[in-house]
Amino acid sequence: MTPWFLGISFLISSSLAGIILVFLISGSLPIFEKYGWEFIFGEEWYVGETYGALPMIYGTTVVTGIALGIALPLGIGTAVVTSEVVGRRMRYILKSVMEIMAGVPGIVYGLLGMLLVTTWIRDLFGLVDGNCLLTAGLLLGVMILPTVMTLSEDAIHVVPNFYREQAYALGLQTHEVIIYAVLPQAIPGILGAIFLGTTRAMGETVAVMLVIGSLDRIPDPFYNLFAPAQSIASKIGREAAESIGVGLHWNALVALGLILFGMVMTLTWLAERVGWTGRLQ
């Protein structure tokens, strides 16, 4: 009974993934037939005239990079302290707080970002409008922090005590035990946490849509983090209802979804090859 159930579950999940991929490819064909690679590398997006995905790809990459720059040091640092420094009771409290944060809906983060983060960025840097790449990146960093922290803490906590005991027996101090004995064993799990946090940041829609500024343009200069921009997910979320499932506008949005799907699948594959196995195979 169990093998049959597992087999059926595998077929259903695989079929759903295949259906999604077929839908994205078939819906993207008209736009790629007309524009080819120009769609991916084009910088102009005017509905009914021309479609270029590069500003959205750029926005997705930048806000994800900012989010990782915030979440990785804070998340991994907190995971180390929670697992190796504080007591069992404090570990339970910190883990509970992080898991509660992970369960907060994205729209709530978006509303808090509109109310607090955009105002703080605007006042701190003297901007006219706080909706920009930096705001979206900061908000995403807070959103993926619980994922990075909890999964990294789990990876560190399950390292066998044998490694700690051997390190102490050699005369290492606590911080040396963590750096040289514990973390190397936990790296595969930590890398998996990083990849999962990255894919969540790339796919977040509503929260980013509310604070990124929604301007389909690469900033000039390109490293200007205070400029409004657009991510792939926020672009699809903002315009999907307007296109009503027909025309090149709809095909362009589906093609954006295919690009995002490819980016996420690539990171997932890397997580399997590097993060969860601990080495390239």
Lowest mean pLDDT among 1-10, 55-64, 249-258: 1-10
- Across 64-81, average pLDDT: 92
Mean pLDDT of the chain: 87
- Across 178-205, average pLDDT: 88
- With contact defined as beta carbons under 8 Å apart, do 250 and 242 qualify? no
Q: Which residue has the higher pLDDT, 40 or 98?
A: 40
pLDDT at 115: 87
Q: Does the pLDDT of residue 64 top 90, yes or no?
A: yes
Residue 218 domain-assigned?
A: yes
Residue 90: pLDDT band (50, 70, 90) is confident
Nearest to 107 by CA among 60, 148, 139: 139
What are 155's strand-pairing partners? none
Residue 199 domain-assigned?
A: yes
Residue 61: pLDDT band (50, 70, 90) is very high
Residue 275: pLDDT band (50, 70, 90) is low
Question: Which tens digit of pLDDT belongs to each residue from 124-163?
Answer: 998 888 899 999 999 999 999 998 999 899 889 888 888 8
Q: Which residue has the higher pLDDT, 277 or 179?
A: 179
pTM of the model: 0.88
Domain that holds residue 190: 54-234
Q: Does the pLDDT of residue 6 top 80, yes or no?
A: no
Q: Does the pLDDT of residue 177 top 60, yes or no?
A: yes
- With contact defined as beta carbons under 8 Å apart, do 233 and 260 qualify? yes
pLDDT at 274: 67
- The long-range contacts involving 46-53, CB below 8 angstroms and separated by at least 24 positions, are 47/239, 47/242, 47/249, 48/248, 48/249, 51/248, 51/249, 51/252, 53/232, 53/252, 53/255, 53/256, 53/259
Which tokens sit at 276? Answer: 């969860």
CATH number of the CATH domain containing 181: 1.10.3720.10
Instruction: Report the percent of the chain where pLDDT is more than 90.
Output: 37
pLDDT at 278: 47
Q: Does the pLDDT of residue 280 top 60, yes or no?
A: no
How many domains is the chain partitioned into structurally?
A: 1
